[in-house]
Amino acid sequence: MSATTLTPPAVPTITVDADPKIGLRGHLRHTGALVRRNLLWIRNDPESMFDAVLMPIVFTLLFVYVFGGSIGASMGGGQDAYVQYVIPGMIAMMSMNIAQGVGTGFNEDFHKGIMDRFRTLPIGRGSVLMAKVSVELLRLLVATTVLMIVALLVGFDITNWVGLLGAFSLTALFGSSIMWIFLTLGVTMKTAQAVQAMGFLVMMPLQFGSSIFAPTQSMPGWLQSFTDWNPMSTLADACRGLMVGGPAAHDVWVTVAWSVLLTAVMAPIAIRKFTKQS
């Protein structure tokens, strides 16, 4: 009698195509479902909205009542003049502050195992990122609304409601383009702390080396050259022109161009890196 060797049947490996030729309708459906998931997560964790609610209040009160008197006097109008100057700039600032949070949260999702679950689902990888951007835009809307409520309380005078809506829309457009940069950082960097640290290194020069908080005429020549190319200055000046009057068309178009350029460059990079990572 000869011995017969029994070979166990091979266990089939189940794989899920990361993006099985999903059409536009499928991507929109997946994005909507993921937006709903993220909103439910915010409802279950309301502390995640603290930065969007408290940050506009703290920054507005600090800059108006700490720097408003001195900077306003140098502008020839006192604190009231500074309120009219700084509030449109702070709307621009919110776009970058909220954008930083998307990179940190995205990086944390990898370590919490959420992305492992997404790997098992036949969804477009771009839908995951688009849902993140959509929810952060809603958070940006909340932050700018809170900012405007506080601005009215400290004496800001809204003279052009259409311009205010235009400033909100322009800020949302630019903010969405910045979010792609921070999403890329969230994918490529190892920890959320590293993303946050890199975010501050990017944010601080762009925000304070701009026309957000003070006019740039008294700055050194080399710094004025930086502010002229700084997109945060262009966005702040555009919001200022739309909300309180003055020339705005050039700054609006330059801001739109920056937004389109950043999105066109960074969105494919973020999606490609996320696809490889997941």
What tens digit of pLDDT does each residue of 100-110 get? Answer: 888 887 777 77
The pLDDT value given to residue 121: 62
Residue 230 lies in a domain: yes
Residue 22 lies in a domain: no
d(CA 165, CA 242): 9
Residue 18 lies in a domain: no
Q: How confident is the model at residue 255 (pLDDT cuts 50, 70, 90)?
A: very high
Are the C-beta atoms of 103 and 195 separated by less than 8 Å? yes
The pLDDT value given to residue 50: 84
Higher pLDDT, 108 or 251: 251
* The model's pTM: 0.84
Q: How confident is the model at residue 16 (pLDDT cuts 50, 70, 90)?
A: very low
Q: State pLDDT tens for residues 144-193.
A: 999 999 999 999 998 888 999 999 999 999 999 999 999 999 888 888 88
Average pLDDT for 231-255: 93
| Mean pLDDT value across the chain | 83
Residue 223 lies in a domain: yes
Higher pLDDT, 249 or 275: 249
The pLDDT value given to residue 13: 35
Q: Which domain holds residue 267?
A: 47-277
Least confident of 69-78, 120-129, 155-164, 175-184: 120-129
Q: Is 115 exposed, middle or buried (0-12, 13-18, 19+ CB in 10 A)?
A: middle
Residue 39 lies in a domain: no
Are the C-beta atoms of 207 and 93 separated by less than 8 Å? yes
> Mind spelling out the 3-state secondary structure of the chain?
CCCCCCCCCCCCCCCCCCCCCCCHHHHHHHHHHHHHHHHHHHHHCHHHHHHHHHHHHHHHHHHHHHHHHHHHHHCCCHHHHHHHHHHHHHHHHHHHHHHHHHHHHHHHHHHHCHHHHHHCCCCCHHHHHHHHHHHHHHHHHHHHHHHHHHHHHCCCCCCCHHHHHHHHHHHHHHHHHHHHHHHHHHHHCCCHHHHHHHHHHHHHHHHHCCCCCCCCCCCCHHHHHHHHHCHHHHHHHHHHHHHHCCCCHHHHHHHHHHHHHHHHHHHHHHHHHHHHHC
The pLDDT value given to residue 23: 62
Question: Is 21 a residue whose pLDDT tops 80?
Answer: no
The pLDDT value given to residue 78: 81
When divided into structural domains, the chain yields a total of 1
Question: Is 15 a residue whose pLDDT tops 50?
Answer: no
Higher pLDDT, 96 or 24: 96
Q: How confident is the model at residue 261 (pLDDT cuts 50, 70, 90)?
A: very high
Residue 8 lies in a domain: no
Long-range contacts of 201-206 (CB under 8 A, 24+ apart): 203/96, 203/97, 203/100, 206/96, 206/230, 206/231, 206/232
Higher pLDDT, 261 or 131: 261
Question: Is 14 a residue whose pLDDT tops 60?
Answer: no
Residue 186 lies in a domain: yes
d(CA 186, CA 194): 9
Higher pLDDT, 66 or 113: 66
Residue 226 lies in a domain: yes
Nearest to 124 by CA among 274, 269, 266, 262: 274
